[in-house]
Chains A and B, each alone.
Chain A
Amino acid sequence: DTGVSQNPRHKITKRGQNVTFRCDPISEHNRLYWYRQTLGQGPEFLTYFQNEAQLEKSRLLSDRFSAERPKGSFSTLEIQRTEQGDSAMYLCASSSWGTSGGAGDEQFFGPGTRLTVL
């Protein structure tokens, strides 16, 4: 399978614990995005990388959240001191911005990591 993969698929944690999620994008894609989706809502943008550079962060991304893409390939999203309000589906997407030409590159989504904070 050459699509976007995310691990783990499900994570249950206690409030106050730290969690880390991993995203492996499509191999030739240079952009990687993180979104969060809560029940009954569409995904909301959190942050994105172009290669290893983190270019934008949403105001939704509090200082408890940190994302990295150290070698421009896979990415990790860490949440420190989790809160019940962090319970959501965390989605990763990737795209080949620039290489496909023009505006409106398609973002390919992974299956997501569902986080439950007890």
Chain B
Amino acid sequence: AQSVSQHNHHVILSEAASLELGCNYSYGGTVNLFWYVQYPGQHLQLLLKYFSGDPLVKGIKGFEAEFIKSKFSFNLRKPSVQWSDTAEYFCAAISSGSARQLTFGSGTQLTVLP
């Protein structure tokens, strides 16, 4: 069965610290990968996405993610977090089939201390 795993449920960092959130997927065939963010009181927004090509993907607000096919991973990184990055982060995947529904991980709550 298709699945997405996020192993860090809650991460607490100080401002200016580096961030890496783990995401592993279990899919057969071609997969498209996404990171979504949900700021407090707001709806899900797309941070970045990977379809094909360069495995290092850059998104909004200084975030990037690296697709490592051999490890079935798509970890999210940011070199220096800010207090405003406090939010819940979701990794998601779509298989290459026609349905196109997203399968989400359980999310990681990031708290950045000022």
Contact = CB atoms under 8 A, between A and B. Distances in A.
A42 B101 contact: no
A68 to B, nearest CB: 18
Nearest to B51: A104
Nearest to B43: A111
Nearest to B52: A103
B58 to A, nearest CB: 16
Interface string A5-43: 000000000000000000000000001010100001111
Contacts, number: 63
B49 A56 contact: no
Interface stretch (B14-22, B68-76, B79-87, B91-99): B91-99
B92 A42 contact: yes
Nearest to A47: B101
Interface of A: 4, 31, 33, 35, 40-45, 48, 55-56, 58, 91, 93, 95, 97, 102-112
